[in-house]
């Protein structure tokens, strides 16, 4: 029997992945407190359903920074998809497009951004790290624009990669395990040196530099506070993704769903707000929408689908979430995304 929810995909995916690869994708930093709490935080939010409302035709279509999608569920950036399937990001792009939504392609994809664009059946965003040199970073931005990507998602919570103890224990280096297709390494390059050079530190002024390179919408991924939101509003950005990197960076950081309301309040309608971290059910999506997110992004579940059944597994994972969201909206008396607001939830 095919999986009927994301947790069943998770169990199957573990059977399809090498243990060290499983740990790389599943793990978080240090004690994995934030990793666990991202999921658990949804349990402290209760829904306040409305009754006797016509929900015979639930509408879930929306647009994100001007791009139409079939549902408010997007695919978060993750590196090295070839570790779980030989077609890697090519299969992920096909499956995501078939589900009618957006794939955010990682800077550290295992196929080039041009190869992924050629295989894609839907729109793409590029997730951007400030990496190696500013020249290399700028070149990647220009390549993405030329390849038809629709937005740049700058990840801001990774001045350095955190200590992920599962990877330490497994002696796992992503730079050694998987190629970084968007960068050509010198023959014989040391994987440790490559890994250490993957991230460079940016500042708020870096946003002005990035804006000078491209006319594409710019979203910031990794904002968790009202203070940083207000600083972001001083620059020409089109969106904020509330995220703690899936619990993979600062351990003990606030859960994304908990941080979401203060970011939404600080934005005050001046740009679009999204969130990722812990989304596993349609009810999770609905809670995030009620707290002000325009859409959510999912990461690990897409990797599970890819590991189990390639592009079809990716499509299936996204369609399962979409179907759950539709049912949840019906049961909560919400016939359209526009009807969802803060009154639908109660925080414990």
In the structure encoding, which two tokens stand for residue 247, read together? 């619990």
Residues 6+ apart with CB under 8 A from 282: 321, 322, 323, 324, 325, 326, 327, 328
What is residue 197's DSSP assignment? T
Active site residue 245: yes
Q: How many residues does the chain have?
A: 348
Cα 150 to Cα 153: distance, rounded to the nearest angstrom: 10
Cα 91 to Cα 226: distance, rounded to the nearest angstrom: 37
Cα 102 to Cα 121: distance, rounded to the nearest angstrom: 10
Number of Cβ within 10 Å of residue 183's Cβ equals: 17
Specify the pairing of strand 62-64 against strand 67-69: antiparallel
Active-site option among 81, 199, 235, 245: 245
Cα 42 to Cα 37: distance, rounded to the nearest angstrom: 9
Beta-bridged to residue 154, according to DSSP, are 128, 220
Query: Hey, which bits of 113-236 come out as E strands?
Result: 124-128, 152-155, 218-223
Q: Of 99, 101, 95, 98, give the one whose Cα is nearest residue 74.
A: 101
By annotation, the residues acting in catalysis are 245
């Amino acid at each position: 029997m095919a999986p009927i929810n994301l947790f069943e995909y998770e169990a199957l995916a573990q059977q399809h992945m090498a243990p060290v690869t499983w740990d790389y994708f599943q793990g978080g930093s240090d004690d994995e407190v934030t990793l666990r709490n991202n999921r658990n935080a949804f349990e402290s939010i209760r829904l306040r359903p409305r009754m006797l409302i016509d929900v015979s035709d639930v509408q879930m279509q929306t647009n994100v920074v001007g791009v139409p999608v079939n549902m408010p569920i997007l695919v978060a950036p993750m590196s090295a998809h070839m570790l779980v399937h030989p077609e890697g990001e090519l299969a992920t792009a096909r499956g995501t497009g078939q589900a009618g939504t957006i794939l955010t392609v990682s800077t550290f994809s295992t196929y080039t951004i041009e190869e992924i664009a050629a295989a894609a059946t839907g729109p793409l965003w590029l997730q951007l790290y400030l990496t190696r040199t500013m020249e290399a970073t700028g070149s990647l931005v220009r390549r993405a624009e030329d390849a038809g990507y629709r937005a740049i998602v700058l990840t801001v919570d990774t001045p350095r990669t955190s200590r992920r103890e599962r990877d330490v224990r497994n002696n796992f280096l992503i730079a050694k395990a998987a190629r970084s297709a968007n960068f050509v390494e010198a023959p014989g390059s040391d994987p440790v040196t490559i890994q250490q050079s993957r991230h460079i530190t940016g500042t708020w002024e870096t946003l002005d530099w990035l804006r000078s390179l491209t006319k594409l919408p710019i979203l910031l991924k990794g904002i968790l506070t009202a203070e940083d939101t207000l600083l972001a509003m001083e620059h020409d950005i089109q969106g904020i993704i509330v995220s703690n990197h899936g619990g993979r960076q600062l351990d003990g950081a606030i859960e994304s769903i908990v941080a979401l309301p203060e970011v939404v309040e600080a934005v005050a309608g001046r740009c679009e707000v999204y969130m990722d971290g812990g989304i596993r059910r349609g009810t999770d999506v609905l809670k995030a929408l009620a707290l002000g997110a325009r859409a959510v992004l999912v990461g690990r579940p897409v990797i599970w689908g890819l590991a189990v059944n390639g592009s079809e597994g990716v499509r299936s994972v996204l369609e399962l979430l979409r179907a759950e969201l539709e049912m949840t909206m019906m049961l909560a008396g919400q016939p359209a995304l526009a009807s969802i607001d803060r009154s639908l939830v109660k925080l414990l």
